[in-house]
Amino acid sequence: MGLLENVVVFIEIVLINLLLSGDNAVVIAMAGRRLPADKRRRAVWWGAAAAVMLRIVLTLGAVALLHIPFLQTVGAVLLFVIALQLIAENKGESAHSTAATTLAGAVWTIVVADFVMSLDNVLAVAAIADGDVAMLVIGIAMSIPIIIWGSSFIMSLIDRIPALVYVGGALLGYAAGEMALKDPGLRSVIPVSGQLESVLPFALVALLMASALIVRAGRSA
């Protein structure tokens, strides 16, 4: 690559990391928000480390993984369940959500969600880098500060405005819908029209919010 091409690729990688690392930052913030203050920073660092390690591993086989039928649909279901769990948790309900109030429980939630959400990010960066190892390394390295700073910032916002949990959950639900739509296995079984593509992510967000409200109402009762 020439200098100009390298600069263009670098800018593209920066933009993709800003756009696609946001989901990872959101899930780290939501999973860690119920931890004691002294454990939050550790959750952020462990979560970011997990996200980066997963991206390194997934970079080796991202293209092949994304062509496995129904893999992305399974990932979308997992992400939906994680989002539901994170929204449905009430801050004072330690009896109902013990795992979420421990560092190990929060990190496990982050690892599973990061695995699901890192596929698209890795594939996008790999496609832009076009086999350039240096650019791949830059793309992975750049995701570290974005995820760490982003998750810490989002966590502080959620502390001030707890209702933002629903916004974060909606973003994860929307990401799950988009992930399912990209699944070649699902598209071979269910004909996906332009209208369905635009409606499904929003329908999943509505289902997620309704499910979370039902779960929280049941726990309160």
Give yes or no for residue 123 having a pLDDT over 70.
no
State the pLDDT at residue 210. Answer: 92
pLDDT of residue 207: 93
pLDDT exceeds cutoff 50 at 97: no
Q: Domain of residue 135: give its range.
A: 3-220
Please state the rounded mean pLDDT for residues 147-159.
80
Residue range 20-78, pLDDT digits in tens? 666 777 877 888 877 877 788 888 788 778 777 777 777 666 656 667 788 778 878 88
Instruction: Please list the alpha-helical segments (H only) found in the chain.
Output: 3-32, 37-66, 71-88, 103-129, 133-160, 164-181, 184-189, 194-220
Burial 141-176, CB ≥16 within 10 A → b, else e: ebbbebbbebbbebbeebeeeeebbeebbbbbbbbb
Counting the structural domains of the chain, the total is 1
Residue 93, pLDDT score: 43
Q: Tell me: pLDDT of 96 over 60.
A: no
